Amino acid sequence: MKDVACLYSMNITACAPNSENLFLSDTVLNDLKSRFKYIVVLYDNDRAGLYNMAKIRRLHPELTYTYIPNGGKDISDFYKNNGKTKTLKLIKDFLIWLRKK
């Protein structure tokens, strides 16, 4: 939930399952698909996070998947280590890439 709070503090809508071993229910996912143009799966940049993100990617290839590059295992660590300005730049650069995709 700390990642959701971090993203929310930067005016980015986010939600999280109770665990990285779980994903959103089909009902919740379909609701999100009807409300948002992009759904980005952003799990931790560690073994468990990358493994579970790969599992979800096989089930939902229509979603967009990414992870935090060097600088933290998750977005809140990246923010803590690099500050708000660099975190917003990281997000802005990702959005530019996403819109070109």
pLDDT at residue 71, rounded to an integer: 66
Residue among 28, 20, 21 at smallest CA distance from 1: 20
Residue 17 in this model has a pLDDT that exceeds 80: yes
User: pLDDT per residue over 66-96, tens digit each?
Assistant: 999 876 899 999 999 999 999 999 999 999 9
Q: How far apart are the first and last CA of the chain?
A: 28
User: pLDDT per residue over 29-55, tens digit each?
Assistant: 999 999 999 999 999 999 999 999 999
pLDDT at residue 15, rounded to an integer: 94
